[in-house]
Chains A and B, each alone.
Chain A
Amino acid sequence: MNLEKVVFGFFVMLAATLNFGFFIGDIDDPTVHNRYELYAAVVVNLIATVLKFGDRTQIGAVHLATSLVADLQLIAAAVVLVWATNVSPEGVTPSAMASVVSLSGGALLANLVSVVLLVIETVSYRRR
């Protein structure tokens, strides 16, 4: 067992699960989307991105690309949420919440691709 692979797999999975946890629930209902979960998703996604740095293989490059997409979407979601909470006079309206959650949904797709890549990598490794 390779500890590096464990850590890598752990963070990729955790990024996807946290993202999923935030995303699930009514899209415009602020009460079912925990902002701590979004925060954790952002942090874990960033760590997962850093873990993918410096891999020169083709699959490594795609890994990094999907992670960067997820980061971008999650950070955008966080910015929209902060804007709605702190700046916007209307506060967190259902429409603002909907855009936050849909952004995180996009990130979730990227994270799922990451997980699929991880699985593909594992399977092809076994086969060799």
Chain B
Amino acid sequence: MSVEEQAPSRAEVRAAVGPQSSEAVFLVLRRMRVPLIVLLTLFAISVLGLTLIPGTNPDGTPWRMGFFDAFYFMSYTATTIGYGELPQAFNDAQRMWVTLSIYLSVIGWAYAIGALLSLVQSRPFRQAIAVTRFQRSVRNLREPFWLMAGHGHTGDMLGTWLDDLGKRFVVVDVRDDAVDALDLGTYTADVPAIVADASTPDVLVQAGLLHPSCVGVLALTDDDEANLAVVMAASVLRPGLQVIARTSSASIKARMEAFGEPIVIDPFDRFGDHFAVSLRAPATEQLADWLTRAPEAPLPQPHDDIRPGPWILYGYGRFGREVTRDLRREGVEVRIIDAGTGLVDEPEGADGAIVGDATRREILDQADISSAVGFIAGTDNDVTNLSLVRAARRANPSLFIVARQNRPENAELFDAMGIDLLLVPTTVVAQEALAHIGAPMLWQFLQMASHQGQQWSADLIDRLVERCGTGSPELWEVALTTADAPAVVRVLDRHPIALGDLLRDPLDRTSTVEVVCLMVDSFDGTVLAPPDDLVLRAGDRLLLAGRPAGRHSMESTLLVDSSAAYCLSDEPAATGWLWRRLTREDARR
């Protein structure tokens, strides 16, 4: 985005934020009017009375207290300091008045302090304070940050990963408890959060939509309409900003895609794709799953026993339709059972669906469960899904069981049931969003990898495990440009280099750093899992996976001339600026 486009947006931020930021002050002033006036009046009456009541000098002559003495006396009396210094001893008339004044002032103070305390505890005031604090912390963000609308289970999971990767984010959620949970959470970085409806553009602006450091918006609420509103607001107010949205409705997805180029994640659609890939090449799916997991996650088990025989699916709703379509595209036979609720569009039974309750044996037999290889429990009710799994297992113990877990709270139940393949929509969305956020090239890699065969993926997994261990690797991109890799570019000016040389350890060039190159993107095209002898050229972009230590070692090759020269050409390097100048002069001659 150009500077010209950004300048007005910043002014707009200030305009939108300005009037509300002093809300709390105005609220205090307005609410304290009456208590302050009461206090003022009582004080004024007390002082006036003291000056009017005749006193007596020690020698018996009449004496009147001046305004200054009266003010002084009332000041230390009314504030309960009770200094006790009197200009003249009081007579009884003055004492009567002072007694009255003391009680009046105590009442006045009690009222004022009570009003202030109840104001501080009142909801609007606390909200005003929270809004002010939120706006200030968003305004003061200097690092790139993501705007997360909706911090449910998906947001929580994604937030933890983003935090691990050192990325900042701002949270907007309608639910109090979601924001309260953030305070108790274990994020390393401070996460500004506010309880507000993210579908209101004003709220998004307050949360930093127009902030120059805002790099993207994540629409992750449970409500498809709200997500659509977020996508809309983001694309209209800040065109070109990266938007990642979640929805499980095809029509909402189409409407989202009408606004700019958002990345729309439909968990059912994605799961169907993953499922289809698993059927074709389990290792490919295993690789994709592993690379999109949280940093240091263990290597997931491959679903080697998944087979393309006849499958039985229960629950022909949005999820069931997606999976059926994907499976049938792979040439797999799918027998559908539905209680009838998922068939609202076609009540007579769509696609040859059997209508009935699949927990009953005769319905399962009707679908010929004994000949099936797998069973999918795909309703939107976890209890139903679990009882379906139990019924299907009883009918055919050798079935491969796929179940949809709707509520993350039920994870233990599903774990205990030993489900072979579990769909947790929140996890699917979080993994997918992370793949988009972490390294933009990763997404391209995963797309291309999904068409690769079983052997290719298994080999790549072996190579990754051999070099980087079984914890999921860190993923990052390197462009061979003067900005990213100045030392390498200087070597490239002289002679071409091979990928294997770039991955040499700068401390010992015979060994390799704990890094694997997943993809090279060059002018000539894209190479997946490139071999070590691939020749690199300036401008190539690399997607790398590896341990943080490996990344660190490699960075020194990229940036430091002596390391680059040692790794890439095994020649003594001209390290200093002066020496580099001299050797270059030599070369020119």
Q: What would 12 more interface pairs be, CB under 8 Å, given A50-B33, A54-B29, A78-B67?
A: A36-B48, A36-B51, A39-B47, A39-B48, A39-B51, A47-B37, A50-B37, A51-B37, A53-B33, A54-B27, A55-B30, A82-B66
CA gap between A51 and B34 in the complex, in Å: 8
Q: B68 near A: Cβ within 8 Å?
A: yes
Known contacts A43-B40, A50-B40: A85-B33 contact under CB 8 Å? no
- Asked whether, in the complex, the Cβ of B67 is within 8 Å of the Cβ of A35, the reply is yes
- Asked whether, in the complex, the Cβ of A82 is within 8 Å of the Cβ of B67, the reply is yes
- Asked whether, in the complex, the Cβ of B66 is within 8 Å of the Cβ of A85, the reply is yes
**What class of interface size applies to chain A in its complex with B?**
10 to 19
Q: A56 near B: Cβ within 8 Å?
A: yes
B-chain residues with CB within 8 Å of residue A39 when the two chains form the complex: 44, 47-48, 51, 67
Q: B36 near A: Cβ within 8 Å?
A: yes
CA gap between A85 and B67 in the complex, in Å: 10
Binding site for A on B (CB under 8 A): 19, 26-33, 36-37, 40-41, 44, 47-48, 51, 66-69
Q: A96 near B: Cβ within 8 Å?
A: no
A-chain residues with CB within 8 Å of residue B40 when the two chains form the complex: 43, 46-47, 50
B-chain residues with CB within 8 Å of residue A47 when the two chains form the complex: 37, 40-41
B-chain residues with CB within 8 Å of residue A50 when the two chains form the complex: 32-33, 36-37, 40
A-chain residues with CB within 8 Å of residue B68 when the two chains form the complex: 82, 85-86
A-chain residues with CB within 8 Å of residue B26 when the two chains form the complex: 54, 56
- Asked whether, in the complex, the Cβ of A54 is within 8 Å of the Cβ of B44, the reply is no
- Asked whether, in the complex, the Cβ of A86 is within 8 Å of the Cβ of B66, the reply is yes
CA gap between A36 and B47 in the complex, in Å: 11
Which residues in window 8-29 of A have CB below 8 A to B? none
Dominant secondary structure of chain A at its interface with chain B: helix
Known contacts A43-B40, A46-B40: A54-B30 contact under CB 8 Å? yes
B-chain residues with CB within 8 Å of residue A35 when the two chains form the complex: 67
**Chain B minimum-CB-distance residue to A79:** B68
A-chain residues with CB within 8 Å of residue B41 when the two chains form the complex: 43, 47
CB distance from A44 to the nearest CB of B (A): 9
CB distance from B355 to the nearest CB of A (A): 63
CB distance from A80 to the nearest CB of B (A): 12
A-chain residues with CB within 8 Å of residue B33 when the two chains form the complex: 50-51, 53-54
Known contacts A39-B48, A47-B41: A53-B67 contact under CB 8 Å? no
CA gap between A43 and B47 in the complex, in Å: 11
CA gap between A51 and B28 in the complex, in Å: 13
A-B pairs, 8 with minimum CB distance: A54-B30, A53-B29, A54-B29, A43-B44, A82-B68, A50-B36, A54-B26, A50-B37
- Asked whether, in the complex, the Cβ of B30 is within 8 Å of the Cβ of A53, the reply is yes
A-chain residues with CB within 8 Å of residue B51 when the two chains form the complex: 36, 39
**Chain B minimum-CB-distance residue to A38:** B67
B-chain residues with CB within 8 Å of residue A56 when the two chains form the complex: 19, 26
CB distance from A110 to the nearest CB of B (A): 19
CA gap between A39 and B50 in the complex, in Å: 13
CA gap between A15 and B10 in the complex, in Å: 44
CB distance from A59 to the nearest CB of B (A): 15
CA gap between A89 and B537 in the complex, in Å: 94
Interface string of A48-86 (1 = CB under 8 A from B): 001101111000000000000000000000100010011
**Chain B minimum-CB-distance residue to A50:** B36
CA gap between A53 and B22 in the complex, in Å: 13
CA gap between A35 and B47 in the complex, in Å: 13
CB distance from A2 to the nearest CB of B (A): 15
CA gap between A50 and B115 in the complex, in Å: 15
CB distance from A36 to the nearest CB of B (A): 8
CA gap between A85 and B28 in the complex, in Å: 38
**Chain B minimum-CB-distance residue to A42:** B44
CB distance from A62 to the nearest CB of B (A): 16
CA gap between A24 and B37 in the complex, in Å: 28
Could you say which of B28, B40, B51 has the most chain A C-beta atoms within 10 Å of its C-beta?
A: B40
A-chain residues with CB within 8 Å of residue B32 when the two chains form the complex: 50, 53
**Chain A minimum-CB-distance residue to B43:** A43
**Chain A minimum-CB-distance residue to B35:** A50
CB distance from B113 to the nearest CB of A (A): 16
CA gap between A107 and B31 in the complex, in Å: 27
**Chain A minimum-CB-distance residue to B31:** A54
CB distance from A16 to the nearest CB of B (A): 18
CA gap between A85 and B51 in the complex, in Å: 14
Could you say which of A43, A51, A78, A85 has the most chain B C-beta atoms within 10 Å of its C-beta?
A: A43
CA gap between A50 and B33 in the complex, in Å: 6
CB distance from B237 to the nearest CB of A (A): 26
B-chain residues with CB within 8 Å of residue A46 when the two chains form the complex: 40
A-chain residues with CB within 8 Å of residue B31 when the two chains form the complex: 54
CA gap between A35 and B48 in the complex, in Å: 11
A-chain residues with CB within 8 Å of residue B48 when the two chains form the complex: 36, 39
CA gap between A39 and B43 in the complex, in Å: 12
Would you mind naming 9 contact pairs between A and B with Cβ atoms under 8 Å apart?
Answer: A39-B47, A39-B51, A43-B44, A47-B37, A51-B37, A53-B29, A53-B33, A54-B33, A85-B66
A-chain residues with CB within 8 Å of residue B27 when the two chains form the complex: 54
Could you say which of A35, A46, A78 has the most chain B C-beta atoms within 10 Å of its C-beta?
A: A46
CB distance from B115 to the nearest CB of A (A): 13
